[in-house]
Amino acid sequence: MLVGGFADRWLDTLDADGFAWFEALLDEQDVDILAWAFGKEVAPARLQGEMLARLKALDYVRLVPR
């Protein structure tokens, strides 16, 4: 939901640098991505910046009702 929601929200608007960042993110472990998104761990310097801030905003995640 997190990475897919992020892709749904932002992928069509990414420039080459943003797309490269997203591809680098996909190489990471899910547990690490979640920790960075929720601010539980610090992401590597190469992933820091505007795109990580967008990931951490979590405003793109749609919750599915039970």
- The 10s digit of each residue's pLDDT in 19-54 is 999 999 999 999 999 999 999 999 999 999 999 999
50-54-56 Cα angle (round to 5): 115
Domain contains 52: yes
Predicted confidence band at 63 (pLDDT cuts at 50, 70, 90)?
Answer: confident
CB atoms within 10 A of CB 43: 19
Residue 61: per-residue pLDDT: 82
Indicate the residue type of 5.
G
Indicate the residue type of 33.
I
* Tally of structural domains, the chain: 1
Domain contains 7: yes
Domain that holds residue 52: 2-57
- Give the residue among 24, 40, 45, 32 at the shortest CA–CA distance from 2: 32
Domain contains 30: yes
Domain contains 13: yes
pTM metric for this prediction: 0.86
Q: Given a cut of 90, is residue 66 above it in pLDDT?
A: no
Domain contains 64: no
Q: Given a cut of 90, is residue 1 above it in pLDDT?
A: no
Domain contains 65: no
| Tokens (6 digits) for 53 | 């801030």
Domain contains 66: no
43 phi/psi in degrees, rounded to 5: -70, 155
